Structure 1
Amino acid sequence: MNVKHLTMMAASLALGAGAASAGGYTPPVAEPVIAPVAVEPVANWAGGYAGVTLGYAFGGSDRVGITDVATETLLGDIGEMELDGVNGGVRAGYRWQRDNWVFGPELGYEIGDIKGDTSGVIGGTELGADAKVKNMLALRFKTGYVVRPDTMVYGIAGWGRADIDYEVAGEDVGYDTDGYIVGLGVEKQLTDRMSMTAEYEYANFGKERLEAAGYTTEATVDYSNIKLGLNFRF
């Protein structure tokens, strides 16, 4: 190899090194790794269930006005009954589920000691009245939303038929009546088969005209109810 060839090779190497220096070194760009987002599964709430409840009723009110049967004259009020008391029940229902929405009917039967009384003087005569809700058969429809896999909140709307002991001026004028029920609740799963509930309900049984001992009155029984319960899924 002569001097001329060596000179040309050196020049080529110098030019390549210069071009590399001018452009700079560009390291390879790594694609970012995106971790998959974990989606928390919705628990299964569908199917049949049965349960028990224990509650306390409060806030019931029934103002007792007395009217003379013969003259249809309002004689006055003898006072207001405030109904409250402990109650317990059993229930059974079935639920369907669509994603986070859960809905279905529930049949319940409750007994208890929800009662109140009052007394007053009308025309120089002392009169008393008392009422007690002995039992209630109820059909409720519950619609819920699963806010966590093991927790659901729901609304309650339904119908109830109550057996009410009612006494005016010492005479028993008990009756059966229909009414509506509305409320809210929350349910938490404790195991795959068992869950705990907490509910608030309001029951209203409208007006019922009663006659006793020559007097008439309009019974207006209603009350609120706080209930705790356990459900067992089939």
Structure 2
Amino acid sequence: MTMHQKAALAGVAALCGAWLVLSPALAADMPSSRKLPPAPALPSFYSWTGIYLGVQGGYAWSQEKTILSDTLGRAFNGAAFRQSSDAALGGGHAGFNYQVGSLVFGIEGDIEALDSGETLVAPGISARITRDWQGSLRGRAGFALDRFMIYATGGAAFTEFSYHLAGAAAAAPESLDRSRTGWTAGAGVAFAYTDNVILGAEYRYSDFGKVGQTARGPLLGLTVRQEPTFHTLRASVAYKF
């Protein structure tokens, strides 16, 4: 083998060695024909925004102070009572929520039927005070954790008191009705069981201030004064559109 042939073989060997060294690096720089699998979709969070209609049921109780007084100076000259009452209730509600981030703002109204009453007896006179409906119109502000929400609520409360008065000397009993507006406030929790069905539980306190009514018929002069306050627990189910 001549010197030129040996030099040529040495050059070829050097080129092959350089190729073996550089080929992995070049391969790493070349685009791969294989694609990575797509990333999984992020879970979507529940939206509380929307109109809803529902029904509710619960239990109400109260501790009231009531005074019966007579301005005409008959044998009965007045008596004070502190009585309690309780009643089951049920009704319907409707509202609208608007969600901003984790905050939920809304307005809600409800109407409920109940059978609440107490009877007060004093010498020569008796009075029965009843309520058969109540309602409210309230604002709500809540904090949502996906399908779970806690909230506070407050606004105006409405009801009607019926007074049924009777006395031994009266020709006939007398009935009086008095509508009353007060305030109510409370808190609750809600859970979106499905995208449309919402379950809830709520506590509210309602105060109607001082309520007074004076008889104008057979028991003219008899006055009933009371300071009614009520506690209510409710469970509800609603459909969000």
Q: Same fold (TM over 0.5)?
A: yes
The equivalent of 1:12 in structure 2 is: none
Q: Higher strand share goes to which structure?
A: 1
Task: Please name the residue that 2:237 is paired with.
Answer: 230
Runs (5+) with no aligned partner, structure 1:
1-37
Runs of 5+ unmatched residues, structure 2: 1-40, 167-172
Which residue number in structure 2 is paired with residue 215 of structure 1?
222
Aligned counterpart in structure 2 of residue 187 of structure 1, from 190, 196, 202: 190
Distance (whole Å) between structure 2 residues aligned to residue 85 and residue 218 of structure 1: 21
Give the letter aligned to residue 206 of structure 1: G
Q: Which amino acid aligns with 1:88?
A: G
Instruction: Note closer, same or farther for the CA distance 1:39–1:119 as it changes in structure 2 (3 Å cut).
Output: farther
Please give the TM-score of this superposition, normalised by the length of structure 2.
Answer: 0.72
The aligned residue for residue 82 of structure 2 is 80
Match of 1:128 in 2: 126
What secondary structure sits across from 1:70 in the alignment?
coil
CA RMSD in angstroms comes to: 2.2
SS in 2 for 1:178: strand
Written as runs of structure 1 = structure 2, the 5 A alignment for 1:1-234 is 42-58=45-61, 60-70=62-72, 75-120=77-122, 125-146=123-144, 148-169=145-166, 170-212=173-215, 213=219, 214-234=221-241
Q: 1:81 to 1:171 in 2, by over 3 A?
A: farther
Counterpart amino acid of residue 149 in structure 2? M
Equivalent residues of 2:70, 2:78 under 8 A apart: no
TM-superposed deviation, 1:142: 1.0
2:65–2:228 Cα contact (<8 Å) kept = no
User: CA separation in 2, counterparts of 1:114 and 1:140?
Assistant: 23
Give the length in aligned residue pairs. Answer: 190
Q: Structure 1 length as normaliser, TM-score?
A: 0.74
Tell me the percent identity: 26
